[in-house]
């Protein structure tokens, strides 16, 4: 009987556990996490901040689910050390033997060195605990400042606005969502969100968080000052590499893995936000879920290969529909098909290389997104259908 140990209870760890159990009905599966909650939806944390749901609504798998799957969930018990030679892990509660180990330790928010970053009222968001702290603090404030105009920053800003706060966004790039939108699309999104009450400072850098002892605003590098009682840092994440590096696993942007999700150490696999695969760090839920699936299959003796995930993102702000995937062609290097209606806040773009669909932006109208994303994943040839796609509103059902 094999012992499977998983470090991390996020989507990668849970997906791995599910797939191990499918292939091994008798093995012992244990998941260790620093979280006090079972597996929950991180992507819904802005709704918790907005007061639209409570923490119980975030929980995806209740304790009964773990019992049914015969998975031992160790809450508040992170793995603190690994002994590869003796195949043991240690926690504050003791030592445990493994036959196969999965590192699914995820990532943490990147917090830059900004003067005043430690002041009361400055936050980052990664967990239910973070969201609850932000929500509680927001109740005594009037205005929030989001440092970072990416997906999470805008979604949290929307949550704070729903909670009754005014929201300003400071973004280093000259446009919003620099990884998901080109210039025309970003201009439409900016105007739409300004109509919702957002204020934006683009091409700007935060030099200092002002106030004593609590946050009172930020000062930008160009000298401008923005008043606000709460600051949220949302400028990306970094893999949690401590465990991997402590035992000398090969790392770069993340823990380096092969197509089987195997690390440089026998019997140790890795999946999710902690890994780098073929030079790519994904940091998105669908990739982590698929990586966990592949790792779990291989840990249980199966044979599966991970060949990458099409990078796709969805902005979850009420009143705004946005899907972006693959190559968005900001530099104008590829052939594109574009449909734009600024009066209706619609911008739709397909990116084509060598007659193959390689990316899309769907803003304001996401109809056909499933077929379009499938076509990108399948490297669909669209050369003979370009005129028809324009006339049919990017209707891939005709292909």
Return the pLDDT at 319.
Answer: 81
Return the pLDDT at 396.
Answer: 72
Task: Decide the pairing of beta strands 320-326 and 356-363.
Answer: antiparallel
| CATH tag for 3-108+237-299 (out of 3.40.640.10, 3.50.50.60, 3.40.50.300, 2.60.40.10) | 3.50.50.60
Architecture in CATH for domain 319-398: 2-Layer Sandwich (3.30)
Mean pLDDT over 178-182 rounds to 94
d(C-alpha 9, C-alpha 74), whole Å: 9
Return the pLDDT at 393.
Answer: 72
> Considering only CA atoms, which of 152, 141, 160, 151 is closest in space to residue 198?
160
Cβ neighbours of 36 (radius 10 Å) = 10
Query: How does the average pLDDT of the chain come out, rounded?
Result: 94
Return the pLDDT at 312.
Answer: 87
Return the pLDDT at 25.
Answer: 96
Write the CB contacts of 284 (distance below 8 Å, at least 6 apart in sequence): 309, 311, 312, 313
Q: For the chain, how far is it from start to end, CA to CA, in angstroms?
A: 50
| pTM for the structure as a whole | 0.92
Peptide bond into 213 cis (omega under 30): yes
Return the pLDDT at 63.
Answer: 95
* Phi and psi angles of residue 48, each rounded to the nearest 5 degrees, phi first: -65, -45
The answer, yes or no, to whether residue 279 has pLDDT greater than 90, is yes
Return the pLDDT at 104.
Answer: 98
The answer, yes or no, to whether residue 11 has pLDDT greater than 90, is yes
Domains 3-108+237-299 and 319-398 are alike in CATH topology: no
d(C-alpha 46, C-alpha 39), whole Å: 17
Return the pLDDT at 140.
Answer: 83
Return the pLDDT at 19.
Answer: 98
The answer, yes or no, to whether residue 261 has pLDDT greater than 60, is yes
What CATH number belongs to 111-233? Answer: 3.50.50.60
The answer, yes or no, to whether residue 272 has pLDDT greater than 90, is yes
Report the alpha-carbon angle 284-46-135, nearest 5. 140
Return the pLDDT at 368.
Answer: 87
Domain residue extents for the chain: 3-108+237-299, 111-233, 319-398
What are the structure tokens assigned to 163, written together? 């909670």
pLDDT digit string (tens) for 118-169? 999 999 999 999 999 999 999 888 899 999 999 999 999 999 999 999 999 9
The answer, yes or no, to whether residue 236 has pLDDT greater than 60, is yes
Return the pLDDT at 399.
Answer: 55
d(C-alpha 57, C-alpha 313), whole Å: 23
Mean pLDDT over 259-275 rounds to 98
Mean pLDDT over 46-72 rounds to 96
């Amino acid at each position: 009987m094999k012992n499977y140990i998983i470090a991390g209870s996020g989507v990668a760890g849970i997906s791995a556990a599910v797939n191990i159990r499918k292939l091994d009905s008798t093995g012992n599966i244990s998941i260790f996490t620093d979280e006090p909650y079972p597996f929950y939806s991180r992507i819904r944390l802005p709704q918790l901040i907005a007061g639209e749901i409570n923490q119980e609504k975030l929980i995806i798998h209740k304790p009964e689910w773990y019992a049914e799957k015969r998975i031992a969930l160790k809450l508040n018990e992170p793995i603190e050390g690994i002994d590869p030679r003796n195949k043991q892990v240690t926690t504050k509660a003791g030592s445990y033997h493994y036959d196969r180990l999965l590192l699914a330790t995820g990532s943490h928010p990147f917090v830059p060195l900004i003067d005043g970053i430690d002041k009361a009222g400055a936050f980052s968001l990664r967990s239910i605990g973070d969201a609850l702290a932000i929500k509680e603090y927001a109740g005594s404030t009037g205005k929030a400042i989001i440092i970072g105009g990416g997906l999470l920053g805008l979604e949290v800003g929307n949550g704070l606005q729903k909670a009754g706060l005014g929201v300003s966004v400071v973004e280093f790039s000259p446009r919003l969502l620099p990884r998901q939108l080109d210039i025309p699309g970003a201009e439409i999104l900016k105007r739409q969100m300004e109509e919702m009450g957002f204020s934006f400072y683009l091409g700007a850098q935060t030099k200092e968080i002002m106030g004593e002892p609590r946050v009172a605003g930020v000062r930008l590098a160009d000298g401008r000052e923005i008043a606000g009682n709460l600051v949220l840092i949302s400028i990306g994440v970094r893999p949690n590499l401590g465990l991997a590096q402590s035992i000398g696993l090969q790392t770069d942007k993340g823990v380096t893995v092969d197509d089987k999700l195997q690390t440089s150490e026998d019997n140790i696999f890795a999946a999710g936000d902690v890994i780098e695969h073929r030079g790519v760090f994904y940091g998105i839920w669908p990739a982590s879920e698929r990586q966990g699936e592949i790792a779990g299959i291989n840990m249980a003796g199966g044979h599966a290969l991970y060949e990458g995930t099409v990078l796709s993102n969805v902005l979850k702000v009420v009143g705004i529909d946005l899907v972006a995937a693959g190559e968005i062609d900001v530099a104008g290097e590829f052939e594109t098909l574009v449909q734009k209606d600024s009066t209706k806040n619609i911008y739709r773009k397909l990116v084509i290389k060598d007659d193959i669909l390689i990316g899309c932006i769907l803003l304001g109208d996401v109809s056909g997104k499933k077929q379009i994303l499938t076509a990108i994943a399948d490297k669909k040839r669209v050369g003979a259908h370009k005129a028809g796609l324009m006339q049919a509103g990017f209707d891939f059902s005709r292909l």
